[in-house]
Chain A
C-alpha cells in the first residue's frame, strides 16, 4: 500500500514537472557555481519555470546559441565579430558577474609579493628567469628572494581564465600582444601546462620556484598565496570583490557590452579581471519562454547580484547594473 502511494506520488511529481516550462542554457564553466545558485533560488520564487544549464565551456555556449539549440548561451569572453555575424538575429551580451585572475607562487616562507604588469609580462615571456632579478627585488624591499629559476605554469585547457590573463598581458605590453596575443588558448613562450585551476595550483604547490595564475575564487578557497598587482593609476592593489567591482565601475564599457575590463583607470581597481556574459537573442521566438527569461534576467541583475560576493564573484556596480537593466528591457517577445 505504501509502495503504491509512493509510486502515485512520484507520478504526480513527474506530471507536475512536465507542466513546468524548461529553459535551456549552455556555456561558460567559470560562472557555473553562481548560475546554479541563481537557478535554485529562482525556482523558489517562480516554480513554474525550470532552468537547465550545461557548463560545456564558452566555445560550446556560443556555438549552441548561434544554432539556437539553447534558449540562452553563456560565455567568459565577448563573442568575436566573426562569430556574431553568424547569428540569425541580434544577439545581446548581458554581463552578469566578474572575477579576477591572481598570480600565485611557491617561494620559501610564502612572502607577500608586489608586482607590476611589465614584470609579469617579462616573467611569462621568459625574459626574467630568476627570482632575485633586480626588477622583482626593486618592488619587494625587504623580501628575501631566492636565486632559483622561475618556472612558469599556465593553463593547458582553453579557458576564460587564460583569456583574462593574456588580455591583461597584451594590454600592458606591445611585445606580448604581437608575439602571443589574446585567446582562450595561446602559444606560450615558456612554461608547463596544468589542466584546470587544480592542475596549475597542484604544480605550483609542489614545485618550488613556480609561478602561475588561477581564478581568485579558487586561490581563496584553497588558501594559495597571491601577489598584489600595480594598476593603471600606480597603486599596488590586492585582488578582492571590492577592487574587482571598482574595476568594472571604471572600465570603458561600449554600448553592446562587449568589453574588456583589464587595466582600468580606477584608483583602487585590481587590473586583472574580466566579466562573464549571458547571450540572449533580442527577438525571442517563443513568447511564453521569452517572458519568463526576461523576468529571470531582471531578477538576476537585481536580487541575484546580491548573492555573488558570498561565492567570491564580484557583482555589477550600480552604473553598469542600470545599463544592463535598460538593455534587458529591449528584449522583445
Chain B
C-alpha cells in the first residue's frame, strides 16, 4: 500500500518537471517546515520542563496538596494554588461569556451586513483595540472602569439579580467581575478578527444557494454562514480563551488580588498569572520561588486541560451541524 501511494504521486507530477529537482526541493521544503513545526512543540516542552525543574522543591514539599490547598502564606512557606486556579477559571469564563457573543456578532455584521464604507474603518478600530498595551487598559480599568462599575452597573446588578448568590455581598469595584470584563475587552479584538477572516472564507455560493431557496438574511447567516464556519469560529474562541487564561497585567490591577474562593462575583479574587507577576520579584526564599514556579506549571496545565476539553467538546458536538463541503 505504501509503495503504491508513494509511486503514484511522483509519477503524476513528473510530467511537469524533472523528477530529481522537484523531489529534492520538496524534500527540503518538507523537512524545513517539519523543523519549524517541531520547534514550536519543543518550545512548549522546554517551558514545561523548566517550570517543572524550577518547582521541584514545592512539588516535593506539598505534592498534590498544592492543588487542593487554599492557603497562600509566604511567611510560613505554606502554598496552595486552589484560589488562584478558581480565579483564573472564573475570570476567563466571565470574559468568554461577554466576549464571544459580542465578537461573533461584530464579525457577522462586518462580513454580512455592514455597508462597504463602514467595513474598513470598523475593522481598523477593532484591530487598534488589540494594540492597546495591557498596562494601559489596567490603569484605565482602575481609574475609569472600576468606579463606573461600582457606582452604576454593580448596584444595578445587585438590585436586579440580588437573589442570586453571584450578585450579593459588599461592592468594592475590584472583583472577579471587573477582572472578567477587562479580559473580555482584551479578547474581543482577537476573536472578532479571526472570526471575520473565517466568515469571509465561507464561499459565496453557500449564501447564494440559501437565498435561492428563499431564506431571509438571518436564515442565510444562521444556516449558510455560521453553521458552515462553526469549527473555525470555535477555534477563534479557543484562541481568545488562551489569551484570557494567561492575561496578567490588566487583570492584576482590577481583580483585587485576594486569594479567596467566594461565591459572589463582586468579591475580590486572584489569578495564577497575577500572583506570579506580583510576587516573583521579591520572592527571596527557595520554597517560595519554587511555589511560584509551580503556579506557572499549574497555569500551563490548566491551559492544556481547557484546550483539550474544548477540542473534545468540538469533536462531540461539532459533528452534528453542517460540515464544510
| Chain A residues with a Cβ under 8 A of chain B | 29, 56-60, 62-63, 79-80, 82-83, 149, 151, 156-160, 180-188, 191-195, 199, 202-203, 206-207
Contact = CB atoms under 8 A, between A and B. Distances in A.
15 contacts: A56-B281, A59-B281, A59-B282, A59-B284, A156-B274, A157-B282, A158-B281, A184-B283, A185-B283, A186-B73, A187-B72, A191-B258, A193-B270, A195-B252, A206-B146
B170 A195 contact: no
Contacts of A195: 252-253, 257, 278
B75 A156 contact: no
B284 A182 contact: no
Contact of A58 (B147, B174, B279, B282): B282
Nearest to A28: B282
B246 interface: no
Given A58-B284, A192-B258, A157 B172 contact: no
A202 B75 contact: no
Contacts of A183: 74-75
A206 B147 CA distance: 7
Contact of A202 (B143, B150, B170): B143
Tier of interface size on chain B = 20 to 34
Given A157-B278, A192-B256, A206-B146, A83 B75 contact: no
B173 interface: yes
B300 interface: no
B173 A185 contact: no
Which of B252, B256, B257, B277 has its CB near the most chain A CB atoms (within 10 A)?
A: B257
Contacts of B174: 192, 203
Interface in B271-290: 274, 277-285, 289
Interface of B: 71-76, 142-143, 146-147, 150, 170, 172-174, 252-253, 256-258, 268, 270, 274, 277-285, 289
A139 to B, nearest CB: 26
B283 A158 contact: yes
Contacts of B282: 57-59, 157-160, 184-185
B256 A193 contact: yes
A149 B142 CA distance: 21
Given A60-B281, A82-B285, A186 B75 contact: yes
Given A193-B257, A206-B146, A59 B283 contact: yes
Contact of B257 (A29, A63, A187, A192): A192
A63 B280 CA distance: 12
Q: Is the interface of B mostly helix, strand, loop or mixed?
A: loop
Contacts of B256: 192-193
Contacts, number: 100
Given A184-B282, A192-B268, A207 B73 contact: no
A156 B284 contact: no
A80 B284 contact: yes
Contacts of A184: 74, 279, 282-284
B257 to A, nearest CB: 3
Given A158-B279, A193-B268, A203-B174, A187 B284 contact: no
A62 B288 CA distance: 14
Contacts of B279: 157-158, 184-185
Contact of A192 (B76, B147, B172): B172
A131 B277 CA distance: 33
Which of B142, B150, B274, B285 has its CB near the most chain A CB atoms (within 10 A)?
A: B142
B75 A182 contact: yes
Contact of A151 (B75, B172, B252, B253): B172
**6 closest pairs, A vs B, by CB?**
A193-B257, A158-B282, A57-B281, A156-B257, A181-B75, A184-B282
Contacts of A80: 284-285
Contacts of A29: 281
B5 to A, nearest CB: 56
Contacts of B74: 158, 183-187
B282 to A, nearest CB: 3
Contacts of A192: 172, 174, 256-258, 268
Contacts of A149: 170
B135 to A, nearest CB: 10
Contacts of A186: 73-75
A74 B163 CA distance: 53
A114 to B, nearest CB: 27
Nearest to B282: A158
Contacts of A206: 142-143, 146-147, 150, 173
Nearest to B75: A181
Given A158-B279, A192-B268, A195-B253, 6 more contacts: A80-B285, A156-B257, A156-B274, A156-B278, A186-B74, A203-B142
